[in-house]
Amino acid sequence: MSGSALDPKTAPVFPIAARTAMKDGQLRRNVRHATDVIQAKRARVVAEMPDWQELREAGKQIRQHTMENLDFYLEEFEANCTRAGGVVHWARDAAEARQIIVGLVKASGSDEVIKIKSMTTEEIQLNSALEAAGIHPYETDLAELIIQLGHDQPSHIVVPALHKNRQQIREIFQREMNLPKLGERPEDLADAARIFLREKFLRVKTGVSGANFLIAETGGVCIVESEGNGRMCLTLPETLIAVAGIDKVVPRFADLEVLFQLLPRSATGERMNPYNSIWTGVNAADGPRAFHVVLMDNARTEILADAEGRQTLNCIRCGACQNACPVYRQTGGHAYGSVYAGPIGAILTPQLQEMHHAQSLPYASSLCGACYEVCPVKINIPEVLIHLRNKVVKQNGPLNVEAFAMKMMGMIFLSEHRFRAAQRMGRMAEAPLVRRDEKGEGWIGWLPGMLGGWTKVRDLQEMPQETFRDWWKKRGTHGS
Amino acid sequence: MGVDTGAAPLGSARAEILQRIRAATGGVSNTEVARAGWTRLPREYRRAATREREAVLELLEDRLRDYDANVVRTGRDRVSAIVAKMLSERGKTRMVVPPGIPNEWLPVVVEFVVDEGLSAAELDRFDGVMTGSTMAIAQTGTVILQSVPGQGRRAVTLVPDYQLCVVCEEDVVETVPEAMARLQETAELPTTFFSGPSATADIEMTRIKGVHGPRYLDVVLVGSGI
């Protein structure tokens, strides 16, 4: 039923995928409109907060402190969740997490599950694993439903279907829900989804969710959302299975006072999410009778071990960096070849893949710093991008073209003699490529080979006929 | 509770992940280190109220309305009369209520059925639900419910399409940190924060009221009765 998930292992490299996306005018209009709206709302509600910078600093420090003591907080969460009647499972990687979840769903006696929007389940491609095991997953978030019914993929962490407009959504619903007379007002579409899903909410006995925060102090789990579909999945089924990266833990209940202020304002420009749910284990009189948490590593410990990349784990998945990113706003999310798109995807995806896939993503940025400025927990994304570029070059070894070229440049810059020779060579070599404009200035619009990457999107001015050194020398002999 | 998943030995996954973390962070963390580090975290943000009491209540009203909730303020002795008026205006005649809701809030002209483990399908057939509340946060327009008498289990305030919620003025705080501090004692109860009725902006960023949760929300703010 769902389209195949975006997989960094098989996705085309970013420059190729971006080129295709850039040709889709409708997609770019939809992405621009959505990101413009969210950014304007975000700016307004952030400006309401005189203590915003202090909140960001506290958020950063809480996340940093959690990562430094991650083993302690995970064990504390496990002990408290278990004490409250939850069952905690640990998964080293995606395959192990899928195996645990499929096993738990089967043990619940259900062959269908209702799902809350969860980037972690997208990351591990859970839906196709469930389907392969004969279990039908129903996405219940409106955007995820649009994607599932449209056999599409999410393109934004918070608003996964922002690349679709109302006409496109209407066509999907008409076809997949068999509603030929469906109207095209957003209200009509939301109503159709409400009716389509309500029957599932009232019937399906097993729910699968992600988690926004795991509270070590109490063993509680917190999910924030806006539609109420999350509350339906958390509250009505008999069995609930939550899967969370090990990075989702927060030390204490009180820490939510910071995250509840930073996350909604950054993510959707709301003062608070319409719904926040917190529950601890099982409660005899309220909610599911069986509750499982799957704590998943899936390369997060690799990121933790990298001193410079570690701050990536501080991410609370608000998506503000995506909305602010000039690259994402042009290409949309699918070009990143991963469920995590935009600046955070550009640093998270390659690290989750241990740099063996998605090597082009650290370059999918202009390093303008807009992402760092809006990040509610102050992740210095440009710094991590540069760190990862360095890693890519190292991983590819000293024999790759870029490393070789940089080595040559280094040699040239080491000696004045070589530098002057290179300048003379350059002037000769460029001559056949230079075209004069109406003012007589020389421009190069095409360079051969690897250098062509530069001239693909901009022109290069010809080298000056007289260098400063030449001019200085002349001045010395002929001057006063 | 344990379910045999038939997966690879899971204990080893736990040990391996913790071992990887410790290798990455350079050692074992313990209660003392973690607690001491946590206490030192900077918290220079605003934690206490800055407004006068009446201004806090006005802010809550304003923020709730901003989120499409209907708000009425009333005195303690007038609750059932106001409730009768609001339900009549909305055309609601059959409401579900949680056990423990104060009787004096319920007007006799409307049928109130107490939830004693009704099924989701049964809840779906009511005109709406009426509850009390634990607390409200003015700055964000948020009402907080917990699984206690008068507020009920989470499904009761979720499935019906309309909610009428009574908030007492003394339970209104201005800021999120004040609310979390008050909740600390009962942090392990199932807890729901709601800010306005259910909403989505997934279609062209147009805010649409109500997708899956209650589409309509009335709040009665009870106090001195201004």
For residues A5 and A76, which has the higher predicted lDDT (pLDDT)? A76
Confidence check: pLDDT of B220 > 50: yes
* pLDDT score, position B3: 47
Backbone angles phi, psi at A466, to 5 degrees: -120, 125
pLDDT for B225 = 57
Which residue of A26, A138, A301 is the best one to mutate when testing the B interface, meaning the one whose CB has the most B CBs within 10 A? A301
Average pLDDT over residues A270-280: 96
What is the rounded distance in angstroms from the CA atom of residue A162 to the CA atom of residue A185?
A: 16
User: Residue A145, Cα to own-chain centre: how many angstroms?
Assistant: 19
Instruction: Enter the DSSP assignment of A287.
Output: S
Q: Is A478 helix (H, G, I), strand (E, B) or coil?
A: helix
Task: Give me the DSSP letters along A198-259.
Answer: HHHHHH--EEEE--SEEETTTTEEEEEESSSHHHHHHHSSSEEEEEEEGGGEES-GGGHHHH
Angle between helical axes of A70-83 and A52-68 (0-180°, round to 10): 90
Residues 90-129 of B with CB under 8 A from A: 120-121, 124
User: How are the residues of chain B apportioned to helix, strand and coil, as percentages rounded to the nearest 5?
Assistant: 35, 25, 40
Chain-chain contact of A69 with B29 (C-beta, under 8 angstroms): yes
Is the four-CA dihedral A435, A437, A442, A446 of positive or negative sign?
negative
Per-residue pLDDT tens over the stretch A293-312: 999 999 999 999 999 999 99
What's the gap in Å between the CA of A61 and the closest CA on chain B?
6
pLDDT recorded at residue B7: 47
Whether residue B213 and residue A275 make contact (CB cut-off 8 A), yes or no, is yes
- Residue A143 CB contacts under 8 Å (≥ 6 apart), including other chains: A117, A154, A159, A160, A161, A162, B202
**A405's tokens:** 């070229």
pLDDT value at A149 more than 70: yes
For residue B212, the chain A residues in CB contact (below 8 A) are 140, 194, 197-198, 201, 227-229, 231-232
| Choice among A73-77, A366-370, A420-424 with the minimum mean pLDDT | A420-424
Structure confidence at residue B5 as a pLDDT band (50, 70, 90): very low
DSSP state of B207: -
Q: What pLDDT does B117 receive?
A: 93
Average model confidence (pLDDT) for chain A? 93
Predicted local confidence at residue A28, as pLDDT: 92
Burial (CB count <10 Å: 0-12, 13-18, 19+), residue A400: middle
> Which of A169, A197, A274 shows the shortest C-beta gap to B203?
A169
Q: Do B187 and A253 touch (CB under 8 A)?
A: yes
Pair of tokens at residue A379 = 């992740």
Q: Which residue has the tokens 């499972």?
A: A89
Question: Is residue A395 very low, low, confident or very high in pLDDT (cuts 50, 70, 90)?
Answer: confident
Secondary structure (3-state) at A459: coil
For residue A291, the chain B residue with the least C-alpha distance is: B1
**Portion 133-192 of B in contact with A at CB < 8 A:** 137, 139-142, 147, 153-155, 158-159, 176-177, 179-181, 183-184, 187-192
Statement: residue A399 has pLDDT above 90: no
What pLDDT is stored for residue B226 in this prediction?
A: 53
Which of B46, B212, B215, B217 to mutate to test binding with chain A, by most A CBs within 10 Å of its CB?
A: B212
Give the pLDDT mean for A395-401: 79
Across the interface, whether the CB atoms of B7 and A96 are under 8 A apart is answered: yes
Distance from CA of B77 to the nearest CA of A (A): 31
pLDDT at A477: 64
Q: Which of B209, B226, B211 is nearest to B70 (CA)?
A: B209
| Structure-token pair, residue A136 | 């039908």
Smallest CA–CA separation between B30 and chain A, in Å?
6
- Closest-CA residue in chain A for B12? A90
**Is the pLDDT confidence value at B2 over 50?**
no
Which tokens hold the place of A40?
A: 């304007």
- Mean pLDDT score of chain B, rounded to an integer? 92
Question: In chain B, which residue's Cα lies nearest the Cα of A81?
Answer: B188
Asked if A72's CB is within 8 angstroms of B34's CB, the reply is yes
Are B5 and A229 inside 8 Å of each other by CB?
A: no
pLDDT by residue (tens digit) across B59-85? Answer: 999 999 998 899 999 999 999 999 999
Contact between chains at A274 and B24 (C-beta distance less than 8 A): no
A406 against B92, higher pLDDT: B92
Contacts of B31 in chain A (CB under 8 A): 72
Residue of B145, B205, B215 to mutate, interface with A, max A Cβ within 10 Å? B205
The phi and psi torsions of B154 (rounded to 5 degrees) equal -65, -35
* pLDDT-wise least confident of A196-200, A392-396, B7-11: B7-11
- The CB-side HSE value for A313 (13 A sphere, CA atoms) comes to 32
Q: Rounded to 5 degrees, what angle do the CA atoms A111, A190, A151 make? A: 50
Chain B residues closer than 8 Å to A202 by CB: 120-121, 124
Q: And the tokens for A17?
A: 């995928």
CB contact under 8 A, A232 and B212: yes
How close, in Å, is residue A416 to chain B by CA atoms? 45
pTM for the full predicted model: 0.90
| Binary contact (B200, A218; C-beta < 8 A) | no
Rounded mean pLDDT, A127-156? 95
Average the pLDDT over A228-251 and give the result.
97
Choose the closest CB to B155 out of A215, A236, A301.
A236
Phi-psi region of A4 (alpha: psi -120 to 50; beta: other; left: phi over 0): beta
The answer to whether A257 contacts B179, with C-beta atoms less than 8 Å apart, is: yes
Tell me the pLDDT tens digit for each residue of B46-63: 999 999 999 999 999 999
- Residue B153: pLDDT over 90: yes
Distance from C-alpha of A64 to C-alpha of A314, rounded to nearest angstrom:
7
- Least confident window among A72-81, A83-92, A146-155: A146-155
pLDDT in tens, A345-385: 999 999 999 888 889 999 999 999 999 999 999 999 999 99
CB within 8 Å: A198 and B124: yes
Coil, helix or strand for A378? coil
Q: What pLDDT score does B1 carry?
A: 42
* Averaged pLDDT, A165-189: 93
Instruction: Say if the Cβ atoms of A290 and B3 lie within 8 Å.
Output: yes
Exposure string (b/e) for A56-93, b if CB count within 10 Å is 16 or more? Answer: bbbbbbbbbbbbbbbbbbbbbbbebbeebbbbbbbbbe
* Statement: residue A6 has pLDDT above 90: no
Contact B194 A274 (CB under 8 A): yes
Q: Between chain A and chain B, how many beta carbons pairs sit less than 8 Å apart?
A: 284
Distance CA B104, CA B80 (A): 7
Whether A74 sits inside 8 A of B201 (CB atoms) is no
B176 to A220: CB separation less than 8 angstroms, yes or no = no
Give the residue on B whose Cα is nearest the Cα of A142: B202
- For residue range B177-216, list pLDDT tens digits in order: 999 999 999 999 999 999 988 888 888 888 888 788 899 9
Tell me the CA distances in angstroms from A8 to A339, A344, A349, A360, A420, one per residue in order: 9, 15, 8, 11, 44
Among the partner-chain residues A68, A234, A273, the one whose CB lies closest to the CB of B25 is A68
Q: What is the pLDDT of residue A479?
A: 57
Q: Do B8 and A96 touch (CB under 8 A)?
A: yes
Using an 8 Å CB-CB cutoff, list chain A residues near B147. 283, 285-286
Contacts with B181 from chain A: Cβ below 8 Å: 254, 257
pLDDT surpasses 70 at A461: yes
The tokens describing A233, both together, are 């999945």
**How high is the pLDDT of residue A1?**
37
Pairing of strands B162-168, B216-223: parallel
The closest CB to that of B202, out of A143, A217, A280, belongs to: A143
Q: Does B5 touch chain A (CB under 8 A)?
A: yes
Place of tokens 């063996």: A356
- The answer to whether the CB of B73 falls within 8 A of the CB of B63 is no
pLDDT of residue A91: 98
Assess contact for A117 and A161: CB atoms under 8 A: no
Chain A nearest-CA distance from B33, in A, is 8
| CB-nearest partner of A227 from B147, B176, B212 | B212
- Closest approach of B127 to chain A, Cα-based (Å): 16
Q: 3-class SS at B224?
A: strand
